[in-house]
Structure 1
């Protein structure tokens, strides 16, 4: 039987997993008029994605070397980085027009495959990361390890493809 804390985590994870994509989608369509575009943000939030990837790899290395507290702290920083990324991403899109990819041919297809998988997995990864974290926080390390095997590569993919998407679209930004 689930205890009260587990039920609270499940409820919170469910709410956040639904609410975050909905709020981001709504805010993505909101344009703040008469505000200086935050055009300096894309390289910053792309760098945060890169940092997240490095920290995720470091967290896995830490836990494989028995450094549980370091692993925990690195994952907390990864979660903070993801929150910072999301805030900057939304702020940029609320003050700036979306940039269209200008590439042609097969590179255009590659770009959109990477972009679409990045977006879809960034939504799917929310509950996976939160459940993984909650299982560790509740001390259920066996279940934590089982889901972390999936959470890590998915989260890493989202972080790395965020950088790739930025690098592919950056020549088309209007400054």
Structure 2
């Protein structure tokens, strides 16, 4: 490892830790804190579900690109996937701070399927934050051996979070009140 690579990783480690704590806390708080007299934003869920779908597609294409030796394309697609995830997060926070929560109305087995998918989606969305950031920083530091090692963990989990975000939306969308 070069000194420069080590310095780059160390430089970003504090940010990775900070963001890995602050983002989940902010999301948790949004379920308690509502903006008084805010205009509800019921149009956001289909948009951010679509963004989750786009993220999933970007991830798959990015992995195919790097496997085909197209490193610059991979890099650009991954930056777009990170941007989509950030855009999703901002819309998700805006929606939940301004709009009453929707309860899932399904019954029987589908209810348990929904809550299983939702719970695993939420837990992995928290875990994916530091994984994505560490994976990105390792590429930035040109530590591709270490980048590849963690990317093998990050990729399937991030893909699962993106795909289940769409599934959760599709399952709860019939119960939205507009």
Same fold (TM over 0.5): yes
The 3-state SS of whatever aligns with 2:41 is: coil
1-structure distance, mates of 2:67, 2:42 = 40
Range with greater deviation from structure 2 (94-103 or 30-39): 30-39
1:76 aligned to 2:79?
Answer: yes
1:34 deviation in Å?
1.7
Find 2:42's aligned residue among 39, 46, 66.
39
Equivalent pairs counted in the alignment come to 175
Alignment of structure 1 residues 17-166 onto 2, 5 Å = 17-166=20-169
1-structure distance, mates of 2:109, 2:138 = 42
2-structure distance, mates of 1:57, 1:46 = 17
2-structure distance, mates of 1:122, 1:145 = 20
1:9 deviation in Å?
1.3
The 3-state SS of whatever aligns with 1:38 is: coil
Structure 1 segments (4+ residues) deviating >6 Å: none
Find 2:172's aligned residue among 147, 169, 174.
169
2-structure distance, mates of 1:10, 1:98 = 35
1:28 deviation in Å?
2.9
1:33 deviation in Å?
1.9
1:52 deviation in Å?
0.2
Range with greater deviation from structure 2 (10-19 or 160-169): 10-19
1:147 deviation in Å?
0.5
1:27 deviation in Å?
2.5
TM-score by length of 1: 0.97
